[in-house]
Chain A
């Protein structure tokens, strides 16, 4: 654990802290919305600790509050969270080898911790970024939810602060360096188009998963050309 904080430089720590702060505000809005929808105080806190996934949490309480079947709400939440399967394969190495660390680390897997990890070049920084972001967000998110649940309707509409634009901007900034690679860029672009085209017709969560079809571009690309490209890239200058 200690090596994580040692590896973490000041810039990375500051970037992560900013995201934690923004997410704490969103967490506060989650707590406030849940309580003002008529749910007991403890429910948003329980959900935030047990589920710890913003989009799925909002969807879950939104569906139940509007009179939806709890089973349907669970299914909808699971659909939104299914992207964690491919995420786990991509950042699994950042969690370390110890079984306990893997369990704790898996629970901290969210879009931001994955994006921060993927944006690092070497393995050690990857691990540090993943854990620091995961732990920081878990703590801040839950503090925010508790504050929002008790504080009532102080913050329900985070759109006023533009936080709805901050979330995609955070992911975009972190993902941008990976898009320098031509194959990755093509795959991402294809995936984005598929997801956007599918959104009007499919339940939340599925369009993003369908974007994975864009990876086929990279599969085909690496069959003819990527290998040679990688060879040239690794030649000493």
Chain B
């Protein structure tokens, strides 16, 4: 097993790097005046990233297909959200569908 010092150093480096990523945008943003068009593109970027996260985390586990239960749950949640169901219903239905399908033996 990796030594304690190595683990601490690795954790701190990962933490510092992650923080640098997180703080870059807010700090740089405050230094320059952004055009409405740039603002809009940044908002679109965030939506694109979140959508890609939804798709990859719904369908894939690592490099492989995550099985049917998870995407089915997300799809049920998605339809409910689209039909303007309350957020709580969306999330519980997504989790419940995936959990229920697994109970029935669906991977």
Contacts and interface: CB of A to CB of B under 8 A. Distances in A.
Interface in B3-20: 4, 6-15, 17-19
A139 interface: no
Contacts of B88: 14-15, 18
Interface string B50-71: 1111111111101100100111
Nearest to A89: B25
B90 A169 contact: yes
Contact of A212 (B45, B54, B71, B97): B45
Q: Which of B7, B77, B82 has the most CB of A within 10 A?
A: B7
A172 B54 contact: yes
A195 B52 contact: yes
Nearest to A14: B88
Interface residues of B, number: 75
Given A87-B46, A176-B81, A162 B98 contact: yes
A86 B41 contact: no
A168 B53 contact: yes
Given A46-B11, A73-B10, A77-B18, A93 B44 contact: no
Interface in A167-193: 167-176, 178-179, 183-184, 187-192
Given A51-B14, A84-B21, A164 B48 contact: no
Contacts, number: 286
Contacts of B26: 88, 92, 95, 102, 105-106
Give the dominant DSSP class at B's interface. helix
B22 A84 contact: yes
A114 interface: yes
B23 A78 contact: no
Nearest to A218: B44
Interface of B: 1-2, 4, 6-15, 17-19, 21-30, 37, 40-60, 62-63, 66, 69-74, 77-78, 81-82, 86-88, 90-91, 93-100, 102
28 contacts: A18-B87, A18-B91, A39-B1, A43-B11, A51-B11, A70-B7, A70-B9, A78-B21, A81-B21, A83-B49, A86-B42, A88-B22, A97-B30, A161-B99, A162-B70, A162-B94, A162-B102, A166-B91, A172-B58, A172-B78, A188-B51, A195-B55, A196-B56, A196-B59, A204-B62, A208-B49, A215-B44, A219-B41
Given A22-B95, A168-B53, A168-B70, 17 more contacts: A18-B87, A19-B91, A52-B18, A86-B46, A88-B29, A89-B25, A102-B30, A114-B46, A162-B102, A166-B94, A169-B73, A169-B81, A173-B81, A173-B91, A188-B47, A188-B48, A195-B55
